[in-house]
A and B are shown apart, each in its own frame.
Chain A
Amino acid sequence: MEQTLTDLVLIQNVLNGETAQYALLVKRHQRFVFTLALRFSKNREDAEEIAQDCFVKAYKALGTFKQTAKFSTWLYTITYTTAMTFLRKNRLDTSSIHDESTIIQLENHTSGFNANGYEKQDSYAFLNQAITQLLPDDAAIITLFYKGEQSLEEIGEALHMEPNTIKVKLHRARQRLREKLQYLLKDEVRELL
């Protein structure tokens, strides 16, 4: 039944008093919101705090959600704002590249490989490691574009930027990500990708 209910139906049910249904919305979006938060905080505990805060804020403001836009876009806007506020408060180091201390913890990493899974796992791990070394904005744009099913316009809406700016930033982020992968993998980059 969970699968058949759209985000909008669930929101309507929550607004009609069935507040327990908010758990279904959380379950549906928690991985993405958490990953996005992780792009900013570089630390699992902080990312979890940001993601949790984001879902509580979304719950409080659910009545103001204009149902003309995608719920995910609205949620990612809240995530972005919450993460930026968190960064400002904690004055976390948002600098990029070659910073060994920013390498992420990957112990809870999940992936769907099977047969030649070991190599795949390696490439996932290297890719995640490379992403964590990007600037938060670059990492967020890459994640939103590839995993968030968001158009350039929607990413622009979530990050408060023009779609053209997002296009340019996406291009640069992909270039930087490739450089990071090349740095991490040296000559193996071609075989692993």
Chain B
Amino acid sequence: MNTIEQQLWDYIDGNLDESAKKAIEEKILSDAEIKSQYDELLKLNLSFESMDLDEPSMSFTRNVMESVALVPAPLAMKTKVDKNIIYGISGFFVISLLALFGYVLYHSDLSISSFDLNVNLDFNFDQYITSTTVYSFLFADLVIGLIFLDQFLRKKVAEK
């Protein structure tokens, strides 16, 4: 849709780039019909700009304030989510991880007695492929698939 009227409105609204602006200005100057259409749209635009807003009743503000007095006062999100709670949770996890790491270190034997590279490559895969492992594998796939689907849908919504 790029009729002359649309171009004239874009010119009036200031939505045109320099070249398009020059082109429409030339058309207005050279064509009497376009000039007359432009003048009419300009007047219409001025009239739209001068339209007035309606006034609600005199008691409007008072009514709103009476209604909001009945609801809890709003709080900023940062006030609602106290930072100390976030610090507390993160502190708990850091301390737990450090304690676990320390426990593992304390109970492990760090000495390397020998380094044996004799690896047995004779695996029997059949003993590992049971119905339980297959179901577990499929379940993990399903979870991963759902996570990807969720991310994909979130991206779609965000793009909209």
Contact = CB atoms under 8 A, between A and B. Distances in A.
A180 to B, nearest CB: 12
Contact of A127 (B43, B51, B57, B69): B51
A109 B65 contact: no
A12 to B, nearest CB: 8
B51 A146 contact: yes
Nearest to A27: B61
A51 B60 CA distance: 9
A97 to B, nearest CB: 18
Contacts of B67: 52, 55-56
Q: Please classify how large the interface on chain B is, using the bins under 10, 10 to 19, 20 to 34, 35 or more.
A: 35 or more
A193 interface: yes
A56 to B, nearest CB: 5
Interface in B63-92: 63-65, 67-69, 71, 73-77, 79-80
A30 B48 contact: no
Interface string B132-151: 00000000000000000000
Nearest to B78: A63
B110 interface: no
Interface string A118-154: 0000011001100100000000001000110000000
A55 B79 contact: no
Leading 9 A-B pairs by shortest Cβ distance: A62-B74, A34-B56, A31-B53, A59-B68, A35-B53, A55-B64, A15-B76, A63-B74, A35-B54
Given A48-B56, A60-B71, 5 more contacts: A19-B69, A59-B74, A60-B74, A174-B48, A193-B43
